A and B are shown apart, each in its own frame.
Chain A
């Protein structure tokens, strides 16, 4: 499990809201309806509307980024949890994972770096080719 500490300020919350939710606005009524908890109770649990909205935004960010969050004083840690292996992994992907797991950290980084180089080179080719002629392999 990897932890990423991220200090949350009103500005970053606002930026996150703008970027992730675009024009969508959070409604206390919506959350009350979804959870079955009354508005006064919601406000009482989380010390006011502003904090409620912040928590709602943080939760939305966590959902959108596939992370869990932990409130720690004035800061929030977005926690990346280990993801279950997809049962639909192809044989090739399983073999690739086996290779990766046989390497130390430096080896893993080098293999990922090379994969990124190949990906970038291939993307460059796709951009240069006309859209109508960009059929893959």
Chain B
């Protein structure tokens, strides 16, 4: 990883990233540099919502 510091935007991104579940982190990593792929982004959100529904149904 280049550089010894994180700027404000990177710090904010890390803060949010750390608050995600492992599932959420994994999905975000999958998107990666393909962030402007609209269908992929939509699928990520769909997967999160689907998992939410499943979690609620289980409980």
Binding site for B on A (CB under 8 A): 2, 80, 82-85, 89, 92-103, 107-112, 114-119, 121-122, 124-125, 128-130, 133, 136-137
Contacts and interface: CB of A to CB of B under 8 A. Distances in A.
Contact of B22 (A85, A100, A110, A137): A137
Nearest to A109: B9
Contacts of B11: 83
A103 B17 contact: no
A122 B31 contact: no
Contacts of A114: 28, 31, 35, 41, 44-45
B24 A119 contact: yes
Given A97-B6, A101-B10, A122 B16 contact: no
Size category of the B interface is: 35 or more
Contacts, number: 117
A122 B22 CA distance: 11
A107 B31 CA distance: 11
Interface of B: 1-14, 16-25, 27-29, 31-33, 35-36, 41, 44-45, 48-49, 51-52, 55-56, 59
Contacts of B55: 125, 129
A119 B5 contact: no
Contacts of A84: 4-6
18 contacts: A2-B7, A80-B8, A84-B4, A84-B5, A85-B5, A85-B6, A96-B14, A96-B17, A97-B14, A99-B33, A101-B2, A107-B33, A112-B13, A114-B28, A114-B44, A121-B45, A121-B49, A125-B56
